[in-house]
Structure 1
Amino acid sequence: MTRHPGALILPFEDKVPQIHDSAFIAPGARIIGDVTIGPDASVWYNCVLRGDIHRIEVGARSNVQDGTVIHVEGPRPDTEGNPTIIGDDCVIGHMATAHGCVLEDHAFLGMGAIAMDGARIGRHAMLAAGALLSPGKVIPEREIWAGRPAKFMRTLSEEQATKVAFQSVRYVELARRHKAALRGETEA
């Protein structure tokens, strides 16, 4: 397993985080329990991913930006609970919260936004900065929702979808540069 200097990666009971060798886990990040992080994904400075009472999955090339908290909803007598599943090529802005929800491939969770238990952000859909997606709400593919509570604003344009895709690619490269810097390497 690749080392992640300065990050705290802890098992919880019988669950051990599974982190792909190409993933970047920044110093100060906390990865606990039943957490899987895919190829070229990145978890940035001071994020917390706590998979103690259910599982967390972060897909390939997705980025979880600084200060974000990802947790889950555990089983109760009336429900099996909700894992947090983040698909491939997702962008999660700084200081966001994802709790027991699903982000489909290419979804965007804006800075400071909150997605709650059982919520779902569809493919190429966006929850705007500072918005609150209530439990069980679903943002359909290519829609933008904003506000507290979040409501439909409009459909994502092709230009906006391209910008979100660019952010995913940008963060893969940025993670490589941060890894190199942490190893004391310089670019030629």
Structure 2
Amino acid sequence: MLYEHAGARPRIHDTAVIAPTAVISGDVVIGPGCQVLHGAVITAEGGPIVLGEHVIVMENALVRATAVDAVHIGDHTLVGTLASVAGATIGQEVFLASGARVFNGAIVGSRCEVRVNAIVHRRSRLPEGTVVPIGWVAVGHPVQLLSPDRDAEIAAAQPDLDFPGHVFGVDRDTPDLMVQLTERYASTLARHAHDVPIGGTDAAR
């Protein structure tokens, strides 16, 4: 299903194929030869999303842009089943395996592999050709690749990355952090109450 959100409509190339149960919302450009499979959600929450040529977004994957962080996914990239990309730039010929997560402000270089259930943390940068092993975490710039049992090292890198400040504009040390965060985010998400369904993919070609 396609939706106009905040006055912007998806634009889908004639040769792209979008499953009828996929959701495409807002300022989204889907390039030639792309495939978006059943249950995938591609939603532009204030920032644009651009999929290049021959990008595949598998079943139940999520691609989300924010007002702070747009999304660009390069040509010949595969976003695996249940993977998610939030406000990140993904290069060409990248493989994001099932359950991979790439967070806000991250940059994943061309020909990288983020393997099953691996994470690329916010504002981290993967140089071209980097492989993040199964379940591992990529964090920082320059990037560190850490196994999940090295949680102290992963946590130590987090304050510098400032998730609540970068994504939601709320200081990490705010006493009522989650109150401020959820109220601000809810007011942004409430704009979906005014979304306009625009039918099947033919309406966006």
Give the alignment's TM-score, normalised by structure 1.
0.71
Answering whether residue 137 of structure 2 is matched by residue 149 of structure 1, we say: yes
Alignment match of 2:69 (pick from 75, 82, 104) = 82
Gapped runs of 5+ residues in structure 2? 139-143, 147-205
Counterpart-to-counterpart distance in 2, 1:51 and 1:59: 16
Larger RCO: 1 or 2 (CA < 8 Å, sep 6+): 2
> Would you say the 8 A contact 2:91–2:109 is kept in 1?
yes
Counterpart-to-counterpart distance in 2, 1:149 and 1:49: 24
> Would you say the 8 A contact 2:27–2:48 is kept in 1?
yes
Counterpart-to-counterpart distance in 2, 1:108 and 1:47: 17
Which residue number corresponds to residue 12 of structure 1? Answer: 5
Alignment match of 2:66 (pick from 62, 70, 73) = 73
Which residue number corresponds to residue 33 of structure 1? Answer: 26
Deviation, structure 1 residue 73: 2.5
Superposed CA deviations along residues 49-76 of structure 1, whole A, max 9, x for unmatched, are 11131111111001000000111132xx
Give the aligned CA root-mean-square deviation in angstroms.
Answer: 1.3
- Structure 2 matches for 1:36-185, cutoff 5 A? 36-74=29-67, 81-146=68-133, 147-150=135-138, 151-152=144-145
Counterpart-to-counterpart distance in 2, 1:102 and 1:44: 21
Counterpart-to-counterpart distance in 2, 1:73 and 1:34: 11
Gapped runs of 5+ residues in structure 1? 1-7, 75-80, 154-188
Counterpart-to-counterpart distance in 1, 2:58 and 2:125: 23
Give the alignment's TM-score, normalised by structure 2.
0.66
Deviation, structure 1 residue 148: 4.3
Counterpart-to-counterpart distance in 1, 2:66 and 2:137: 20
